[in-house]
A and B are shown apart, each in its own frame.
Chain A
Amino acid sequence: MKQIVRRLVALVLTLLLISFLIFVIFQIIPGDGAVSRLGTNATPEQIAALRKELHLDDPFFKRYFNWLFGLFRGDFGSSYKYDMSVAELIGGKLKVTFFLAMESFFLIVLISLPVGIFLGRTAKKPIGAALHVATQVCMAVPSFFTGILIILIFGLGLKLFIPYYFVKPENSFFGFLGCMIPGAFAIAIPKIAMVSRFLRTNVLEESRKDYVRTAYSKGAGEKHVFYRHILKNAILPVVTILGMTIAEIMAGSIVVEQVFGLPGMGQLLISSINHRDFPVVSVIILYMAFVVIVMNTIVDILYQCIDPRISMED
């Protein structure tokens, strides 16, 4: 319990720090939301008026705290570029990015563990060696290129799915999830390769440890030793690695959305940065940071549940 409270405090502090950093960075980089919105033909008076309207001339800390308290009230502000509230602008897109990331995370967990176990158990056989090389190839290809290949081979070639077909979650939630699967695979494949290779290495390393010899000396067979002793020890470090991939998945989803034409936050984030549309960018980045930190916290707590050597109190 104490552990969870401490985690929550850390989460809030981290988000505050990130919010401040985003704010500072937007002060430093050149460019102006007002200029960007009005275009190069605007008169200085027009710009000055808009700046005033957007409170861009207020002192730094006043602006920061106004914005921050707005966030706490659930008021994310309005976009500089579009005359829309940020909540409206992001709403639907956020769902796409979030579920795309979650889908690829589940694919990574579901596929990399069995593959890694298989690789570890067949390390000395030709099939294991061949698969090991294959994972290296998968790991080396960036996910946007994997995405193009998936569209070409499985979409246009084998006609297993319709490229660029998108179902809104309001119409059919499962259709929505289904149409994002190819994209989720594109993000997941390099990570699956990485995680399963990592698990393979752990399996091989653990197999050489002394406690494995002890288990054999009790009269245990190969399968018993593997599933009762080696596996849990080998999976433990993988949990940490899985937590670390979440940030990469979020980053990867922004690129892959473009490849698969998914209406996620990727496009919006890039254009908002170009237009110095601070309210939009800040919310997207804070949201991503939130997801990454929450997922990592879950992973950490999970790790403590599995590993008795780390007590919940520390």
Chain B
Amino acid sequence: MLLSVKDLCVEFRDKIAVDHVNFEVNENEIVGIIGESGSGKSVSALSIMGLLNDDAKVSGSALFDGKDLSELKVNERQMYKGKEISMVFQEPMTSLNPLMKIGRQVEEVLLLHPEVFSELNEEQRKAKVIETLQIVGLDHPEQIVSMYPHELSGGMRQRVMIAIALIGQPRLMIADEPTTALDVVLQDQILKLLKELNQKLHMSVLFISHNMSIVRNFCDRVYVMQNGHIVETGTPEQIFKHPKEKYTQILIASIPDGTPREDKDDVSDEAVLEIKDFSAFYPKKKKHFFEKGGRVCIVDHVDLTIHAGECVGLVGRSGCGKSTLSKGILGLLKDTEGAVIHHSKHPQMIFQDPYSSLNPKKKIGWILKQPLALRTDLTQDQKNNLVIDTVRQVGLMPEVLDRYPRELSGGMRQRISIAIALVQGSKFIIADEPVSALDVTVQKQILELFLKVQRETNIAFLFISHDRDVVKQMCHRIVYMADGKLSDEEERKEILDKDAPV
């Protein structure tokens, strides 16, 4: 047994984050920990690495190869970090030092462990850095070593992070949501890489994720965490096919199953939105002041018609032009060609992040009344009643109108975002990744709300998402976007199935 965590408790000033947790990782094993946000999975991982802040009280033991890490002195423990146990973090964009060259950041691990790597001279270290960058699948590593993080894409940065975690030849790699910030195709590549490393280098992986389907396909053994406890453990087969605990059952039932939507009856022939030969451009960066500004085509001759009561899914990798298209539909862009014809009034948009898209200084009631402020055809009383009805429609009590956004949970805030879009009585709404920031159980509730609202009101949706199962379940029709072009539905299957993890 490589790692054995016994009775781990982590307590912050006011709350217990991890409560008497036991788990193990064997040699050459991939172990998954799944749980929703706040379940204590990341805190457990950080405590094994000794990376928690000073205000966290940690008790219990973490035996690594028979040695209790929690009893080591600070400098003894540093010898383990990066060398015996390494860690890959969730945010590749911010986890690298922006002012240090990639090569230096990878090499640093070797320099920090002179007890093992002191016999390497500078050239051998450089060679090892390049070799490691090659292992993680980066092309032209000789060039990458002298680049800075901002010159690399998110996927490349995550590979660099993995190279940093790998170069010390650790026996255990802790990967904390390593693919959550990446789009599906990259996600797939990174997971394949980790699996390969596990098999070739006999490195154990402790894999932390909230994504059930990844854990299911990727791990040898799974722990389910809830509110700081481990509620169930077993092979993916046992956990996903025969969950014993109530919580695990709820969790698994919440996974979108991707059963295609059948009820096409409500879709009428009447169009709410027609996009004809639509292109959108951004100004090209000028080389010098007097250069005539060129432009870059982001959305390229797109045609799309959405009918009343129809839910159209829009799928594509990050940077393909999805968001630009939706901005163009709402008339928020300056430089466009072609036509966007709305056959309904007040098209609305629901955003991804329910935390930052609501004004934190205003009460929910004020926020919800804001879209009605310019309406002169309604009296104050009518407006108030409309707001109360809408709040009820999204499954909340009118009491929330008196609250501030920070007092609501993520799911409640996303309900409010939906209510803002509904309060105008729109017939067409764009939902941009409306559930990807939410936990699975909350995600399920919000998706159900979407379906309910759509059946009740016959609103047409353009539903943007990167989760193929969510889109399948929600939409009557799916269109795929790549490099600014919309592809027809024929290609859908191939592209959506390609991104199945591992």
Interface residues, chain A, with chain B CB atoms under 8 Å away: 2, 6, 209-211, 213-221, 224, 228-229, 232-233, 236, 306-309, 313-314
Interface membership of B28, Cβ < 8 A: no
Query: What is the bound-complex CA distance between A211 and B148, given in angstroms?
Result: 13
- Give the residue among A224, A229, A308, A313 with the most B Cβ atoms within 10 A: A308
Interface SS, B side: loop
Could you tell me if A210 and B95 are in contact, using CB atoms closer than 8 angstroms? Answer: yes
- A133 to chain B minimum Cβ distance, whole angstroms, is 23
Other A-B pairs beyond A215-B108, A217-B82, A220-B112, 20, CB < 8 Å: A6-B288, A210-B89, A210-B91, A210-B95, A213-B89, A214-B96, A214-B164, A217-B49, A217-B51, A217-B81, A217-B86, A217-B89, A218-B86, A218-B112, A219-B79, A219-B81, A219-B112, A219-B168, A221-B78, A308-B150
Kindly list chain A residues whose C-beta atoms are within 8 Å of the C-beta of B387.
none
- Give the residue among B99, B165, B287, B289 with the most A Cβ atoms within 10 A: B99
Kindly list chain B residues whose C-beta atoms are within 8 Å of the C-beta of A228.
108
**B97: contacting residue among A211, A224, A314, CB under 8 A:** A211
The answer to whether residues A224 and B51 also contact, given A210-B91, A213-B95, A217-B86 and a CB cut-off of 8 A, is no
Query: What is the bound-complex CA distance between A232 and B98, given in angstroms?
Result: 10
Kindly list chain B residues whose C-beta atoms are within 8 Å of the C-beta of A215.
97, 108
Kindly list chain B residues whose C-beta atoms are within 8 Å of the C-beta of A209.
94
Could you tell me if A308 and B99 are in contact, using CB atoms closer than 8 angstroms? Answer: yes
Nearest first, the 6 closest Cβ-Cβ pairs linking A and B are A219-B81, A219-B82, A218-B82, A210-B94, A308-B148, A211-B97
- B23 to chain A minimum Cβ distance, whole angstroms, is 20
Interface residues of B in 293-326 (CB under 8 A from A): none
**A218: contacting residue among B150, B164, B285, CB under 8 A:** B164
- Give me 14 A-to-B residue pairs in the complex whose CB atoms sit less than 8 angstroms apart, sorted by A's number: A2-B288, A6-B288, A210-B94, A211-B98, A213-B51, A214-B95, A215-B108, A216-B81, A217-B82, A217-B86, A218-B82, A221-B75, A229-B100, A306-B99
- Give the residue among B86, B97, B100, B113 with the most A Cβ atoms within 10 A: B97
Query: What is the bound-complex CA distance between A216 and B164, given in angstroms?
Result: 12
- A124 to chain B minimum Cβ distance, whole angstroms, is 8
Interface membership of B351, Cβ < 8 A: no
Query: What is the bound-complex CA distance between A306 and B100, given in angstroms?
Result: 10
- A26 to chain B minimum Cβ distance, whole angstroms, is 31
Query: What is the bound-complex CA distance between A308 and B150, given in angstroms?
Result: 9
Interface residues, chain B, with chain A CB atoms under 8 Å away: 49, 51, 74-75, 78-83, 86-87, 89, 91, 94-100, 108-109, 112-113, 148, 150, 161, 164-165, 168, 285, 287-289
Could you tell me if B96 and A211 are in contact, using CB atoms closer than 8 angstroms? Answer: yes
**B81: contacting residue among A218, A232, A233, A314, CB under 8 A:** A218
Could you tell me if A214 and B81 are in contact, using CB atoms closer than 8 angstroms? Answer: no
Chain A residue nearest to B110 (CB atoms) is A218
Kindly list chain A residues whose C-beta atoms are within 8 Å of the C-beta of B109.
218-219
Kindly list chain A residues whose C-beta atoms are within 8 Å of the C-beta of B99.
232-233, 236, 306-308
- A200 to chain B minimum Cβ distance, whole angstroms, is 18
Query: What is the bound-complex CA distance between A176 and B393, given in angstroms?
Result: 80
Could you tell me if A219 and B98 are in contact, using CB atoms closer than 8 angstroms? Answer: no
**A309: contacting residue among B78, B81, B95, B98, CB under 8 A:** B98
- B293 to chain A minimum Cβ distance, whole angstroms, is 15
Could you tell me if A309 and B150 are in contact, using CB atoms closer than 8 angstroms? Answer: yes
- Give the residue among A211, A217, A236, A307 with the most B Cβ atoms within 10 A: A217
- A314 to chain B minimum Cβ distance, whole angstroms, is 8
- B109 to chain A minimum Cβ distance, whole angstroms, is 5
Could you tell me if B98 and A233 are in contact, using CB atoms closer than 8 angstroms? Answer: yes
Could you tell me if A219 and B113 are in contact, using CB atoms closer than 8 angstroms? Answer: yes
Query: What is the bound-complex CA distance between A211 and B91, given in angstroms?
Result: 10
- A238 to chain B minimum Cβ distance, whole angstroms, is 14
Query: What is the bound-complex CA distance between A20 and B274, given in angstroms?
Result: 56
- B180 to chain A minimum Cβ distance, whole angstroms, is 14
Kindly list chain A residues whose C-beta atoms are within 8 Å of the C-beta of B288.
2, 6
Kindly list chain A residues whose C-beta atoms are within 8 Å of the C-beta of B164.
214, 218
Could you tell me if A229 and B97 are in contact, using CB atoms closer than 8 angstroms? Answer: yes
Chain B residue nearest to A314 (CB atoms) is B285
The answer to whether residues A220 and B51 also contact, given A233-B99, A309-B98 and a CB cut-off of 8 A, is no
Kindly list chain A residues whose C-beta atoms are within 8 Å of the C-beta of B165.
217
Query: What is the bound-complex CA distance between A21 and B78, given in angstroms?
Result: 62
Chain A residue nearest to B86 (CB atoms) is A217
- B127 to chain A minimum Cβ distance, whole angstroms, is 19
Kindly list chain A residues whose C-beta atoms are within 8 Å of the C-beta of B108.
215, 218, 220, 228
Chain B residue nearest to A313 (CB atoms) is B287
- B49 to chain A minimum Cβ distance, whole angstroms, is 6
- A41 to chain B minimum Cβ distance, whole angstroms, is 56
Query: What is the bound-complex CA distance between A48 and B332, given in angstroms?
Result: 64
Query: What is the bound-complex CA distance between A2 and B290, given in angstroms?
Result: 14
- A304 to chain B minimum Cβ distance, whole angstroms, is 13
Could you tell me if A233 and B97 are in contact, using CB atoms closer than 8 angstroms? Answer: yes
Kindly list chain B residues whose C-beta atoms are within 8 Å of the C-beta of A309.
98, 148, 150
Kindly list chain B residues whose C-beta atoms are within 8 Å of the C-beta of A229.
97, 100
Kindly list chain B residues whose C-beta atoms are within 8 Å of the C-beta of A232.
99
- B147 to chain A minimum Cβ distance, whole angstroms, is 9
Could you tell me if B51 and A219 are in contact, using CB atoms closer than 8 angstroms? Answer: no
Kindly list chain A residues whose C-beta atoms are within 8 Å of the C-beta of B97.
211, 214-215, 229, 233
Query: What is the bound-complex CA distance between A213 and B289, given in angstroms?
Result: 41
Query: What is the bound-complex CA distance between A249 and B153, given in angstroms?
Result: 43
Query: What is the bound-complex CA distance between A221 and B98, given in angstroms?
Result: 20
Chain A residue nearest to B174 (CB atoms) is A217
Could you tell me if B81 and A211 are in contact, using CB atoms closer than 8 angstroms? Answer: no
Could you tell me if B94 and A220 are in contact, using CB atoms closer than 8 angstroms? Answer: no
- A248 to chain B minimum Cβ distance, whole angstroms, is 28
- A313 to chain B minimum Cβ distance, whole angstroms, is 8
Query: What is the bound-complex CA distance between A309 and B287, given in angstroms?
Result: 17
Query: What is the bound-complex CA distance between A236 and B97, given in angstroms?
Result: 13
Query: What is the bound-complex CA distance between A214 and B87, given in angstroms?
Result: 8
Kindly list chain B residues whose C-beta atoms are within 8 Å of the C-beta of A233.
97-99
Query: What is the bound-complex CA distance between A314 and B113, given in angstroms?
Result: 39
Kindly list chain B residues whose C-beta atoms are within 8 Å of the C-beta of A219.
78-83, 109, 112-113, 168
Chain A residue nearest to B50 (CB atoms) is A216
Query: What is the bound-complex CA distance between A309 and B96, given in angstroms?
Result: 13
Query: What is the bound-complex CA distance between A104 and B109, given in angstroms?
Result: 42
Query: What is the bound-complex CA distance between A232 and B82, given in angstroms?
Result: 23
Query: What is the bound-complex CA distance between A314 and B112, given in angstroms?
Result: 36
Chain A residue nearest to B161 (CB atoms) is A214
Kindly list chain A residues whose C-beta atoms are within 8 Å of the C-beta of B161.
214
Query: What is the bound-complex CA distance between A200 and B89, given in angstroms?
Result: 27
Chain B residue nearest to A229 (CB atoms) is B97
Chain A residue nearest to B75 (CB atoms) is A221
Query: What is the bound-complex CA distance between A224 and B100, given in angstroms?
Result: 14
